[in-house]
Chains A and B, each alone.
Chain A
Amino acid sequence: QVQLQQSGPGLVKPSQTLSLTCAISGDSVSSNSADWNWIRQSPSRGLEWLGRTYYRSKWYNDYAVSVKGRIILNADTSNNQFSLQLKSVTPEDAAVYYCAGYSTSARWFDPWGQGTLVTVSS
C-alpha cells in the first residue's frame, strides 16, 4: 500500500520560498508508471493542480501556468521523496498543500498526503 507523508513549515513570510517535502513508502519516486504531484486547495481557488515530476528514463516536470516561473519540483531518489519549492510567495499562495501520486495506468490521484496548511504572513 502506497503512502505519502508530507513535511515542511506551515508559516512562510511574504516574498520568501515555500518548501514542502513528500516522502513515499510502498513505491519508488523513480517508478516508470507513476507521477508525483502537488495540488493545493484554498477557498478562493478551490483544488488547483500545481505540477508533477516523473521518471521515464529521465526526469520530467510539468507545471501549471499559474505558478510557472516560481515553482520547482525535485525528486530525491536517495530518500525516496519529492519536493515542492514555490518562490516569492504572496498571501494568495496561502492554502492547504497536498502531494499526490498518479498512476499512469489508473489515471487518478491516489494516494494523497495528509495536507499541509500554509499561511503566508510576516
Chain B
Amino acid sequence: DIQMTQSPSSLSASVGDRVTITCRASQSISNSLNWYQQKPGKAPKLLIYGASSLQSGVPSRFSGSGSGTDFTLTISSLQREDFATYYCQQSYSIPFTFGPGTKVDIK
C-alpha cells in the first residue's frame, strides 16, 4: 500500500496569511494526488485534483503543486472560511489512501 504523510499535522494562522501544507507519498505516484477540505460534521470536499488542477468553483487562492512523491497545497491568503482540515489522497493505485490531515485553525 502507498502510505501518505502530511506536515504539519496542525497549524495556527491568521486571516491573510499564506499557508503551505506538504504531502509525501511512500513511492512515486506521478501526479495522481488530490486535496480535500473538510469542515466539522461534513464530508470532504475536493479542492485540487491531479496535483495542480483547481476544481470548478474553488477559489483561486488555493493551488497545488508537485509530482512523484512530494506535493504541496498552498492557500495564498487565508480567509475565515478556510479554517478546516485538509487531506491529501493518492489515486495512483488501489487501495486508495489518504494522508492523516492538517488542521488549520485561527491564531
Which A positions have Cβ atoms within 8 angstroms of B?
Answer: 37, 46-49, 52, 62, 64-65, 98, 100, 106-110, 112-115
Report which residue of A64, A108, A115 has the largest number of chain B beta carbons within 10 angstroms of its beta carbon. Answer: A108
Please state if B43 and A108 are interface contacts (CB–CB under 8 Å): no
Which B positions have Cβ atoms within 8 angstroms of A?
Answer: 1, 32, 34, 36, 42-44, 46, 49-50, 55, 87, 89, 91, 94-101
Please state if A49 and B98 are interface contacts (CB–CB under 8 Å): yes
Q: How far is the CA of A108 from the CA of B32 in the complex (A)?
A: 9
Given contacts A108-B34, A108-B91, A109-B34, contact A46 B46 (CB under 8 A): no
Query: What number of residue pairs across chains A and B have CB atoms under 8 A from each other?
Result: 48
Chain A residues, Cβ within 8 Å of B50: 107
Please state if A109 and B97 are interface contacts (CB–CB under 8 Å): no
Q: How far is the CA of A52 from the CA of B93 in the complex (A)?
A: 13
Please state if A110 and B46 are interface contacts (CB–CB under 8 Å): yes
Q: Closest CB-CB distance, B44 to chain A, in whole Å?
A: 6
The chain B residue with its CB closest to the CB of A106 is B49
Chain A residues, Cβ within 8 Å of B1: 65
Given contacts A107-B91, A108-B34, contact A98 B97 (CB under 8 A): no
Please state if B43 and A47 are interface contacts (CB–CB under 8 Å): no
Chain B residues, Cβ within 8 Å of A65: 1, 95
What are 11 A-B residue pairs whose CB atoms fall within 8 Å in the complex?
Answer: A46-B99, A49-B96, A49-B97, A52-B94, A107-B32, A108-B34, A108-B89, A108-B91, A112-B43, A113-B43, A115-B43
Chain A residues, Cβ within 8 Å of B55: 110
Please state if B49 and A47 are interface contacts (CB–CB under 8 Å): no
